[in-house]
Chain A
Amino acid sequence: MPWRMAYFTGKDQEKKMRKNLQIWLVAFAAVLVFFYGLDHLVMNMQGLPLNLDLTPSQ
């Protein structure tokens, strides 16, 4: 299909790389947020609350 083949022309090589970068950035951001929330959850469940900067609040 014509629109797929456009991925392999020189101009779109740049687009492809930018799209890759976007994917990776989004992935990392999402995972960071997930782990940040997880840290708070796990510590809170044990009765050890944290501040926003992950320092102990007790």
Chain B
Amino acid sequence: MSNEIKAPRGVLAKSMGFSLALALLFTLVANLLPQVEGEAPVDQEVDLGALTMDSYVALGETLFSGKGTCALCHNDLGRAPDILAINMVEVANQHLQDERYKGSATDAESYLHESLVDPGIYVVKDYGKKGSNDTISPMPAVDKSPIELSEIEINAIIAFMQAKDGYDVTVPLPTEAPAAEPASPEVQESASTIEAVVAKYSCQACHVILGSGGDLGPALQQMAGRFTREEIRQGIIAPDAVIAEGFPPGVMPQDLAEQMTVKELDILVDYLAGHGKSTATPLAATSSEGAVDGSAEVIISSFGCQACHIMLGSGGEIGPGLDDIGSRLSAEEIRQSIIDPNAVIAKGFPSGVMPLNYSAQMSQTQLDALVDFLWERK
């Protein structure tokens, strides 16, 4: 009988009540603290036309504690130099004189720029990664992930760093991109065959015509019988008037009416409407074993790169200019940009426009030649 103890009552209720009360206490603590939401950075439109140097400096200041995430480390807690408290221009000039300095900057502005995009070149004493004896910087490159500041933003921050201590801002104020120069208006002979017309205006960059081409726009092989001459003509000179189903508007060049001669337009419309005859074999923009002249210029014209890119001094502005691409990208990156265009999109340009199938269309030799050529454009 001494084994029996008083029957316990309400154990479940009491223990659960206690547990719930404790959990609610923790919730209370969490809710009493300052509530801060971590917003993801949102791309903002900046009206470059209306930008003044003062507002540019202010933009830099906003970026400093915003998208640039500089204030996370560059504060008075000792992790990184306290930029807001330091005279950055003076310090930049001092560091340039340091015997440890091995970078390529020549003045404060270029030093600051270098520190932002390549922090490891010179690590301020005592701020290096632990154990690296100030040779490795813990700072990420701001133009790469995860910060990904654009050149304009980087310059804004530099402007802020210069202006805050009263120095002149030496970075250029960003303006609207200069109006694209029209493709050189050399007097050219009007093309006289359909092949020449197609090559001159790079139709195959986007359309399948004369046996091959891209699929950015509708294939043009079977126009005869489906469209009237007027409709075909309209499709060339006012492309956005009627868009083929499934294709995006605003991509086809709007100025073919100004560029093409009357004769060239007639040849093209005739051909498409089924009245013309092609006289030569299709342009050799086919894959693999096409024994074509491997020179880069021929490749560029057969694949119609200049429809969208400035190359060899002329071309379109739908994509980035490529005449100095070798100084911006490595050979591997150039190759990737051709065969997987959407992998890395240059800032300010739309994705999903460049044809995705160059890897299927170009032979390995052609691709190599093109990459080599582009990489030498510095």
Contacts and interface: CB of A to CB of B under 8 A. Distances in A.
A touches B in complex, CB < 8 A: yes
B377 interface: no
Contacts of B133: 47
Q: 5 closest A-B pairs (Cβ-Cβ)? A: A47-B131, A46-B131, A46-B130, A47-B130, A47-B133
Contacts of B131: 46-47
Contacts of A46: 130-131
Contacts, number: 5
Interface string B133-161: 10000000000000000000000000000
B131 to A, nearest CB: 4
B282 to A, nearest CB: 67
Contacts of A47: 130-131, 133
A57 to B, nearest CB: 13
A26 to B, nearest CB: 38
Nearest to B133: A47
* SS class, residues of chain B in contact with chain A: loop
Contacts of B130: 46-47
A44 to B, nearest CB: 12
Interface of A: 46-47
A20 B130 CA distance: 46
A2 B130 CA distance: 64
Interface of B: 130-131, 133
A47 B130 CA distance: 8
A46 B133 CA distance: 12
Nearest to B126: A58
A47 B133 CA distance: 9
5 contacts: A46-B130, A46-B131, A47-B130, A47-B131, A47-B133
A25 to B, nearest CB: 39
A47 B131 CA distance: 6
A46 B131 CA distance: 7
B85 to A, nearest CB: 24
A46 B129 CA distance: 12
A30 to B, nearest CB: 32
A15 B130 CA distance: 54
A56 to B, nearest CB: 11
A5 to B, nearest CB: 45
A46 B132 CA distance: 11
A13 B110 CA distance: 82
A18 to B, nearest CB: 49
A54 to B, nearest CB: 19
B129 to A, nearest CB: 11
A23 B78 CA distance: 46
Nearest to A47: B131
B266 to A, nearest CB: 79
A48 B130 CA distance: 9
B115 to A, nearest CB: 24
